[in-house]
Structure 1
Amino acid sequence: MLLSLVVHTYSLRYWFPATIMLGTAPAYLLSWGAWRLLSTVLPARVYHKLDDRLYCIYQSMVLFFFENYTGVEIVIYGDIPKNKENVIYLSNHQCTADWIIADMLAIRQSAIGHVRYVLKDGLKWLPLYGWYFSQHGGIYVKRSAKFNEKAMKKKLSTQTQSGAPMYLVIFPEGTRYNPELKNVIADSQAFATKEGLAVLKHTLTPRMKASHIAIETMRGHLDAVYDVTVAYEGTLGPSGRRKPAPSMPEFLCKECPRVHIHFDRVDIEEIPPEPVFFRRWLHERFEMKDRLLTDFYESEDADKIHKFPREGKPSPLKLSKTLPSVLILGGLTLPLLMTENGRKLYVRTWVYGTLLGWLWVNIFP
């Protein structure tokens, strides 16, 4: 009985925030849908402005749980620009919580509403979210020969021409680095060897296509590339071997005490446009990440392990930036659930919104 109580209490640590984040989605989608209909007669720039504001509200609520609720300490190495910029965010990829890290940096620039993602194609089937991410400017891509270069260029061009602010998040590795998946790491290293590239130990070999298309399609619209390296503390086992990074439920269960974020801003003019040179540039950036992560996980100096070079500065997120969003979305959701008609509308939004969304993202990729 005691063990059952402990397990139940542990599960509540992530079921509580997960229920609120998922539970407010229909109310959010209804609010966004009303604005989408009203804005059809308005310039695209006006639509994007309020859409970004609505997205800011929802993602700020998400960060309330992933930062304030968990109490995780965010340590940043490097100086994040104070002003908003149009950027591409390139990062190593190791778990489902990685996309939250992009939000964590963006909110510190007051740019969280501008965040958009390049996502693997399978995520478009997520109920409600898969469709909405596409509507907010997210781009779904397939790997290798199935990659639709034309569709990606078209969507990016449409957004830049309408003046949409851009904080485009890309994980060039294409899949998550998991130290337990030896075959994935071996295949990645074999590919690097075949192509004459440096073999990486703590990241996978980056794929260049999506990053190169994004940068070249939006070059005149972009200010910089944010090169970000993330390490989750608590992922070093007793034997000294690296363990998998925390999943989102594990993160919400407060199993990650500290996240280390190495930030480097690269001016867009410094990035070579030619594919051959861009590929070399991107791989060199990942070689730098690999060295950072090797020192982080394997340094024999007790003062350097679990740290990146340079001085890391803790960056607490003020409650005033996230709590109002929880109250706003809760205030929109509760009235729906308090009446029978409201509950029916709530359920229908989940069901019909999901079905229509699945059709939409497949007809209009």
Structure 2
Amino acid sequence: MGSLEKLKQLRLIHLCIALTFFTSGLCINFIQLLMHVFIKPIDKRLFRKLMYYACYSLYSQLIFVSDWYAGSKMTVYMDKEDFEKHAGKEHVLLIMNHKYEIDWLNGWMICEKLGVLGNCKAYAKKAIRYVPIIGWGWWLAEFVFLNRNFDQDKTIITEQLKVVFSYPDPTWLLLNAEGTRFTPAKHEASVKFAQERGMTVLKHHLIPRTKGFTASLAPIRGLCPVIYDINLAYRPTDKNPATMLSLLHGKSVEPHLLMRRIPLEQVPEDEKEAAAWLQNLFVEKDKIIDSFLETGSFFKTSGVKEVPAYVNQRRLCSLVNFVCWAVFSLSCIFYYVITSLLAANWTAFITALSVLGLFYWLMGQAINKTQISKASNYGSSKSPSAK
């Protein structure tokens, strides 16, 4: 076991993972583009069904790293009837706390377990659409890209949500209502904002920006029946930090996730009342996270009804998907490198090595972008006035 753990520390192994992801990602982007050009104009329903598999094939490679390579296990807490009868079988608007470096991956993990990973979408910054592989894939998969200018974004939200929830299969759309990832600086600004306005100060969250949420309600009524409130937390005593570096080094993480199903009819239609509803939800979410961090239970001191826990088992399809892409990608790349070397084609050989180095560098940059210390300053230097 010790030798296997040492093997996972090797940069060569990390390079192989990076080569597989980036090579397959470019192939998948090309397939997505072909579908966009040749299938979507003719049959949007078929296009969206096929897009599910393209997106799943890309995203599940990171699920492989978490589930199979690192051996992580997620515990999900949800009402028994909601979990068995509804989860993975309906369109959903997700509201999730945004505190950890890999909270997005934890969201993908539960989506993968429930069979909706290929139709998992999110509100994202417009600049991301220009990022190769993930950004291009999200753009071709019809994500909701925003400018962080509400006058422009309101129209985008109205139009794009009708697209997202017209998909023939269950689609989950993530809205990070806090607007940005939690950092000490942003939390300080959020606390100041709340105190100045007589609002409840949140300990584990930022004050939510309500405009994006309220602008989303009208377009989805009649299309999306529910909101899932997701509360994600890690135990303070966990030995491995919840980061991509931990996973890449084969160190497991253990996320705990409380999901609550809220029918959309329970959310007021009036904009001010809906905004107040969201604020109250985050006050409740803060109590839930506080209870978990203090007692190890989401329920002991939060006042929330206790529900069953489900330990989600890893699925074979993510392993098979990664292995197939790894065999294809690595065999093609190393065949080219070896034949170039044997033929003394130094130009091709140096080019191939440069590409390998580029992919390794890109992996480092991608991991770097997930780190909290590298998060954007959005929300830290100005008041979080409900955008």
TM-score computed with the length of structure 1 as normaliser: 0.78
Report how far residue 35 of structure 1 moved.
2.9
**Shift in CA distance, 235/140, structure 1 to aligned 2, threshold 3 Å:** farther
Report how far residue 327 of structure 1 moved.
3.0
Q: Does 1:326 align with 2:328?
A: no
Q: Does 1:287 align with 2:283?
A: yes
**Shift in CA distance, 166/213, structure 1 to aligned 2, threshold 3 Å:** farther
After superposition, the CA RMSD in angstroms is: 3.7
Identity of aligned residues (%): 21
Q: Does 1:176 align with 2:178?
A: no
Within-5 A mapping of 1:134-149: 134-143=139-148, 148-149=153-154
Please give the alpha-carbon distance, in whole angstroms, between the structure 2 residues aligned to 1:335 and 1:221. 45
Q: Does 1:100 align with 2:105?
A: yes
Within-5 A mapping of 1:123-162: 123-143=128-148, 148-161=153-166
Unaligned runs of 5+ in 1: 1-5, 238-242, 352-365
Q: Deviations over 1:48-67 (max 9, x none)?
A: 01001221222222211112
Partner of 2:372: none
Please give the alpha-carbon distance, in whole angstroms, between the structure 2 residues aligned to 1:300 and 1:30. 46
Report how far residue 299 of structure 1 moved.
3.7
Kindly indicate whether the alpha-carbon contact (under 8 Å) linking 1:88 and 1:215 is maintained by their aligned counterparts in 2: no
Partner of 1:354: none
Which one is further off, 117-126 or 12-21? Answer: 12-21
Partner of 2:121: 116
Q: Does 1:310 align with 2:303?
A: no
Report how far residue 276 of structure 1 moved.
0.7
Partner of 1:240: none
How many residues align structurally? Answer: 333
Q: Does 1:225 align with 2:233?
A: no
State the AA in 2 paired with 1:31: I
Report how far residue 161 of structure 1 moved.
4.8
**Shift in CA distance, 259/83, structure 1 to aligned 2, threshold 3 Å:** closer
Report how far residue 264 of structure 1 moved.
0.3
Kindly indicate whether the alpha-carbon contact (under 8 Å) linking 1:246 and 1:255 is maintained by their aligned counterparts in 2: no
State the AA in 1 paired with 2:186: V
SS at 1:272 equivalent: coil
Partner of 1:36: 36
Structure 1 residue aligned with 2:292, among 291, 296, 301? 296
Please give the alpha-carbon distance, in whole angstroms, between the structure 1 residues aligned to 2:147 and 2:238. 32
TM-score computed with the length of structure 2 as normaliser: 0.74
State the AA in 1 paired with 2:234: Y
Unaligned runs of 5+ in 2: 1-5, 338-347, 360-387
Please give the alpha-carbon distance, in whole angstroms, between the structure 2 residues aligned to 1:14 and 1:235. 27
Q: Does 1:261 align with 2:266?
A: no
Please give the alpha-carbon distance, in whole angstroms, between the structure 1 residues aligned to 2:228 and 2:72. 23
**Shift in CA distance, 13/233, structure 1 to aligned 2, threshold 3 Å:** farther
Please give the alpha-carbon distance, in whole angstroms, between the structure 2 residues aligned to 1:283 and 1:310. 22
**Shift in CA distance, 252/291, structure 1 to aligned 2, threshold 3 Å:** farther
